[in-house]
Amino acid sequence: MPAGTYLHLEEGLEERFQCAPGPSGWRYTSGRSDGVRVDLVVDARWRQIRVEVVTPTWWLRGGVTGPELAWVRAAGETGSEYGERASGFVSDSPGFLVAVAHSLGLTENAQEDVRLVRLSGTSLSTLTATWRWRLAGTSAYETETEPLPVAQYEVTDLSTGEVETVHLAGDVVLAAPGIELTDLESPPNLLA
Looking at residues 136-156, what average pLDDT do you find?
90
Task: Give the start-to-end residue ranges of the domains of the chain.
Answer: 3-182
Instruction: Looking at the chain, list the stretches that DSSP marks H as alpha helix, in order from N- to C-terminal side.
Output: 94-104
Tell me the torsion sign for CA atoms 151, 65, 129, 11: negative
Confidence of residue 23 (pLDDT cuts 50, 70, 90): confident
Report which of residues 89 and 186 the model is more confident about.
Answer: 89
Averaged pLDDT, 135-164: 91
b/e code 46-70 from CB counts within 10 Å (16+ = b): bbbbebbbbbeebbbbbbbeeeebe
The b/e string for 183-192 (b: 16+ C-beta within 10 A; e otherwise) is ebeeebeeee
- Asked if the model's pLDDT at residue 178 lies above 90, the reply is yes
Q: What is the mean pLDDT of residues 118-147?
A: 91
Predicted pLDDT of residue 147:
83
**CA–CA–CA angle 26, 125, 122 (5° rounding):** 80
Q: Could you tell me if 178 and 8 are in contact, meaning their C-beta atoms sit under 8 angstroms apart?
A: yes
pLDDT at 139: 93
CA atoms within 13 A on the CB side of 139: 8
Task: Please state, in angstroms and rounded to a whole number, the distance separating the CA atoms of residues 17 and 14.
Answer: 10
Mean pLDDT of the chain: 94
Q: Are 19 and 29 in contact (CB under 8 A)?
A: yes
Could you give the C-alpha distances from 160 to 24, 63, 116, in angstroms and in order?
Answer: 36, 26, 15
| Per-residue confidence band for 42, with pLDDT thresholds at 50, 70 and 90 | very high
pLDDT of 192 > 60? The answer is no
* Of 142 and 138, more confident: 138
